[in-house]
């Protein structure tokens, strides 16, 4: 039987390794509490009262801003309220734009496809998610844009950054696109000084903050960010199908998606001037309701949320470092680090062995592979097998970390038996 075959390989090997991992035991283990450590993909559980959302949906016919029913006004005011709250949360001015999207990828596409024209050049990094890298790649074919990769990391100083930028800058450079923090290593890459330097050379500063918003305090104004895309379903703890695109009021962002908005319906063509112009089609009403609740939760508890996640992250790192054969990637000793840790266990495949055993034997959910970030894994030397990624959330407890530690201690012994 091939080594990778599932599920027999798993069961046969467990039986050989340790009697307690027989099928009967696996069945017992499966009914224990699931430990969810994949909050970087999407948070779970959500900081929302789903009964309350259901109640609003049940009581409220119609769509947002269609003006057909008085209940429309109710939904529109919830949308406005959420928009205002998120703007405050990210330090945006009320005159700036914050568009509700269906996820960060949707927002990234709106921004890159809206702003980049034929022959434009972009500076970016090796930490980018496929939402950025694939879109840029597509635009090289569609519009002959080009991009260059800056060799930045968490240790890059302002002087080094400027030097790297100057080496790659060309007369057609229009924008710098940077992730705020890596979805693979948790390293924080963006610095407000980088934005300041990029502005000095006339570049638009576009930050992908999908992993950062809700995990650290961000202030778009102070941090020199012109455009920022982020998810609503990750650390903002809203439902899936939510994301945002922020951009400064002075930016001209053409429409990528066109269609009905409930306003200006008599015009075939509109020049977008307000947020609603970008929110075409029927919006994700349950998602918007969930964001309204989760942002309220974060407003009340943000300090506690980030302190707890940071504490859990530090505990995980401390315990992983102490296990023989475990290698952690990135600058995990940095003071500021997102609640994301990537590691490999010596001689074990991250996907086919470590993550599968964690999930099926210990009921611990992680995410293994290349995390839609092939450039990052190539840089780390972990391509194509990837790493195992652990991302704790606010609702994890120290108990979960003890179980993870115990599991990884046992798993790391496998190839030594
Ligand atoms: C850094 C980064 N950018 C973009 C995305 C895409 O987010 P979404 O799933 O909301 O489109 C992710 C998702 O994992 C991410 O980690």
The CATH number given to whatever domain includes residue 29 is 3.90.1150.10
Domain annotation covers residue 3:
no
pLDDT of 183 reads: 98
Cβ of 128: how many Cβ atoms within 10 Å? 27
pLDDT digits (tens, 9 = 90+) for 75-133: 888 999 999 999 999 999 999 999 999 999 999 999 999 999 999 999 999 999 999 99
* Surface-to-core class of residue 259, CB atoms within 10 Å of its CB (0-12 exposed, 13-18 middle, 19+ buried): exposed
For residue range 64-75, what is the model confidence (pLDDT) as tens digits?
A: 877 655 665 688
Q: Whose CA is nearest to atom 12 of ligand 1?
A: 210
pLDDT of 324: 94
Contact 402, 212 (CB under 8 A): no
Structure tokens that stand for 415 in this block = 């190839």
Residues 35 and 55 both lie in one domain: no
Q: Which two tokens stand for residue 279?
A: 């929110």
Ligand 1 centre to CA of 315 (Å) is 25
Whether residue 183 has its Cβ less than 6 Å from ligand 1 = yes
Per-residue pLDDT at 195:
98
Task: State residue 65's pLDDT score.
Answer: 76
Query: According to DSSP H, which parts of 202-351 are helical?
Result: 275-278, 285-321
- Greater pLDDT, 56 or 23: 56
Pick the last residue of a domain from 259, 281, 296: 296
Residues 28 and 59 in one domain: no
- Any domain includes 309: yes
Indicate whether residue 293 lines ligand 1 (CB < 6 A). Answer: no
pLDDT in tens, 180-214: 999 999 999 999 999 999 999 999 999 999 999 99
In a domain, 128, yes or no: yes
Taking CA atoms only, the protein residue closest to ligand 1 atom 7 is: 104
Task: For 275-290, give one letter per residue: b (16+ CB within 10 A) or e.
Answer: bbbbbeeebbbbbbbb
Tokens coding 120: 């434009």
Please choose from 99, 126, 181, 210 the residue to mutate so as to test ligand 1's pocket, defined by most ligand atoms within 8 A of CB: 210
| CA of residue 381 relative to chain centroid, distance | 22
Q: Is 131 in the pocket of ligand 1 (CB under 6 A)?
A: yes
Classify residue 349: in a domain, yes or no.
yes
Q: What's the gap between Cα 198 and its chain centre?
A: 23
Question: What's residue 192's pLDDT?
Answer: 98
Question: What's the sign of the alpha-carbon dihedral 48, 49, 50, 55?
Answer: negative
Give me the helix-helix angle, 192-200 and 158-168, nearest 10°: 40
Ligand 1 geometric centre to CA of 211 (Å):
7
Residue 269 lies in a domain: yes
From atom 13 of ligand 1, which residue's Cα is the shortest distance away? 41
Are 131 and 180 in the same domain? yes
Domain that holds residue 137: 50-296
Contact 153, 187 (CB under 8 A): yes
Q: Are 227 and 353 found together in one domain?
A: no
Closest CA to 215 of 314, 97, 298: 298
Q: Are residues 381 and 276 in the same domain?
A: no
Summarised one tens digit per residue, pLDDT across range 242-296 is 999 999 999 999 999 999 888 888 888 999 999 999 999 999 999 999 999 999 9
Q: Is the CB of 179 under 6 A from ligand 1?
A: yes
- Cβ–ligand 1 contact at 208 (below 6 Å): yes
Output the CA 349–ligand 1 centroid distance in Å: 24
pLDDT band at 2 (very low <50, low <70, confident <90, very high): very low
Residue 2 lies in a domain: no
Angle at 226 between CA 221 and CA 230, to 5 degrees: 90
Evaluate: CB of 165 within 6 angstroms of ligand 1.
Answer: no
CA–CA dist 167, 235 (Å, integer): 35
Residue 161 has which token pair?
A: 């950054």
Q: What is the pLDDT of residue 416?
A: 58
Last residue of a domain, one of 233, 265, 296: 296
Output the six-digit token pair for 305: 């949320």
309 and 364 fall within a common domain: yes
Query: Do 388 and 364 belong together in one domain?
Result: yes
For residue 235, which of 100, 340, 325, 94 has the smallest C-alpha distance?
340
The DSSP secondary structure of 76-114, one letter per residue, reads: HHHHHHHHHHHHHHHT--TTSEEEEESSHHHHHHHHHHH
Q: How far apart (Å, rounded) are the C-alpha atoms in residues 104 and 214?
A: 14
**Residue 104 Cβ < 6 Å to ligand 1:** yes
Q: Which of 251, 276, 296 is the last residue of a domain?
A: 296
Same domain, 146 and 61: yes
Dist CA 364 CA 310 (whole Å)? 20
* pLDDT tens digits, one per residue of 125-174: 999 999 999 999 999 999 999 999 999 999 999 999 999 999 999 999 99
Let me know: does 313 contact 341? Beta carbons within 8 Å: yes
pLDDT in tens, 345-359: 999 999 999 999 999
C-beta of 226 in contact with ligand 1 (< 6 A): no
| Number of separate domains in the chain | 2
**Phi, psi at 102, each rounded to 5°:** -90, -15
Predicted pLDDT at 33: 78
Do 246 and 215 lie in one domain? The reply is: yes
From CA 412, how far away is CA 400, in angstroms rounded? 18
Residues 145 and 205 sit within 8 Å (Cβ to Cβ): no
Q: What is the mean pLDDT of residues 382-394?
A: 98
Residues 236, 299: Cα–Cα separation, whole Å: 11
């Amino acid at each position: 039987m091939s080594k990778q075959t599932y599920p027999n390989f798993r069961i046969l090997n467990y039986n050989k390794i340790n009697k307690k991992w027989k099928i009967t035991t696996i069945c017992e283990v499966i009914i224990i509490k699931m430990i969810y450590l994949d909050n970087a993909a999407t948070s779970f559980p959500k900081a929302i009262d789903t009964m309350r959302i259901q109640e609003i949906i049940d009581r409220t016919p119609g769509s947002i801003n269609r003006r057909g029913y008085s209940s429309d006004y109710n939904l529109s005011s919830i949308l406005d309220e959420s928009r205002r709250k998120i703007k405050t949360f990210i330090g945006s001015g009320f005159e700036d734009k914050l568009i509700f999207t269906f996820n960060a990828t949707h927002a990234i596409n709106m921004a890159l496809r809206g702003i980049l024209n034929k022959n434009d050049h972009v500076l970016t990094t090796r930490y980018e998610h496929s939402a950025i890298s694939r879109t840029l790649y597509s635009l090289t074919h569609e519009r002959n844009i080009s991009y260059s990769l800056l060799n930045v990391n968490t240790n890059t100083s302002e002087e080094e950054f400027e030097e790297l930028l100057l080496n790659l800058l060309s007369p057609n450079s229009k924008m710098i696109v940077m992730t705020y923090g890596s979805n693979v290593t948790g390293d924080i890459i963006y610095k407000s000084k980088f934005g300041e330097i990029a502005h000095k050379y006339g570049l638009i500063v576009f930050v992908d903050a999908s992993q950062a918003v809700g995990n650290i305090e961000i202030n778009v104004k102070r941090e020199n960010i012109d455009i920022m895309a982020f998810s609503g379903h990750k650390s903002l703890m809203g439902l899936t199908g939510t994301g945002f695109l922020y951009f400064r009021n002075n930016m001209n962002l053409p429409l990528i998606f066109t269609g009905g908005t409930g306003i200006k319906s008599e015009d075939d063509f509109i020049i977008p001037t307000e947020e609603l112009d970008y929110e075409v089609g029927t919006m994700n009403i349950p998602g918007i309701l969930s964001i309204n609740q989760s942002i309220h939760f974060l407003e009340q508890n943000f300090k506690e949320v980030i302190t707890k996640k940071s504490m859990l992250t530090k505990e995980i790192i401390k315990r992983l470092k102490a296990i023989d054969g475990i290698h952690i990637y990135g600058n995990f000793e940095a003071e500021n680090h997102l609640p994301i840790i990537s590691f490999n266990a010596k001689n074990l495949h991250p996907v086919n062995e470590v993550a599968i055993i964690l999930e099926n034997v210990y009921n611990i959910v992680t995410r293994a592979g290349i995390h839609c970030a092939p450039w990052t894994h190539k840089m780390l030397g972990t391509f194509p097998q990837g790493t195992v990624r652990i991302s704790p959330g606010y609702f994890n407890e120290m108990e979960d970390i003890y179980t993870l530690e115990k599991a990884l201690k046992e798993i790391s012994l496998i190839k030594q038996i």
